[in-house]
Amino acid sequence: MGEIKLSTESIRYIALFENITGAAVKDCIIDDGRIIYVIKAGDMGAAIGKNGDHINRMKNKVDKQIDLVEYSDEPAAFIKNAFGPVSVKSVNITSRNNKRLAYVEVSNKDKGLAIGRNGKNIEKVKLVAKRHHDIDDVILQ
For residue 49, CA distances in Å to 5, 41, 58 come to 28, 15, 11
Which regions of the chain does DSSP assign to beta strands (E)? 25-31, 34-39, 65-70, 88-96, 99-106, 137-140
- pLDDT value for 33: 86
Reduced to 3 states (helix: H, G, I; strand: E, B; else coil), residue 129 is helix
Tens-binned pLDDT, residue by residue, of the chain (141 aa): 556 888 999 999 999 999 999 999 999 999 888 999 999 999 999 999 999 999 999 999 999 999 999 999 999 999 999 999 999 999 999 999 999 999 999 999 999 999 999 999 999 999 999 999 999 999 999
